[in-house]
């Protein structure tokens, strides 16, 4: 089963809120741009109830070429991680009872 496309998300929200698709698409574009800008400058962006995009640094490390088995140095770099909100996770995967 495939996820929803951007067009499907826009159509669904437009129908639910009785707004033009163009307006909903603009809001979605602005939200995306805001998330990118905040994550770049501040280092994180929280979407309440869903999760948080966090900019993190990865240390340099030694790795292995899977084809030849030769050791290679993997350089340090910055990555973006997404941490799912507890409420979102529990809505999809209910907590186990003890």
CA distances from 83 to 15, 18, 43, 94 (A): 30, 32, 13, 17
Please state, in angstroms and rounded to a whole number, the distance separating the CA atoms of residues 36 and 70: 37
Q: What predicted TM-score, i.e. pTM, was given to this entire model?
A: 0.80
24 C-beta neighbours (distance < 10 Å), count: 19
Q: What angle in degrees, to the nearest 10, is found between the helix axes of 21-41 and 6-17? A: 120
Residues, the chain: 98
Query: Tokens 């707004």, residue?
Result: 19
Q: Give pLDDT tens digits for 51-85.
A: 999 999 999 999 999 999 999 999 999 999 999 99
């Amino acid at each position: 089963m495939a996820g929803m496309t951007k067009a499907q998300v826009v159509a669904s929200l437009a129908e639910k809120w009785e707004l033009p698709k163009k307006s909903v698409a603009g809001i979605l574009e602005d939200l995306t741009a805001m998330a990118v800008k905040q994550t770049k400058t501040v280092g994180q962006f929280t979407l309440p109830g869903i999760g948080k995009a966090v900019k993190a640094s990865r240390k340099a490390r030694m790795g292995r070429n899977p084809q030849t088995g030769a050791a290679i140095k993997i350089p340090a770099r910055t990555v973006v991680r997404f941490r799912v909100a507890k409420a979102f996770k529990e809505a999809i995967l209910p907590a186990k009872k003890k």
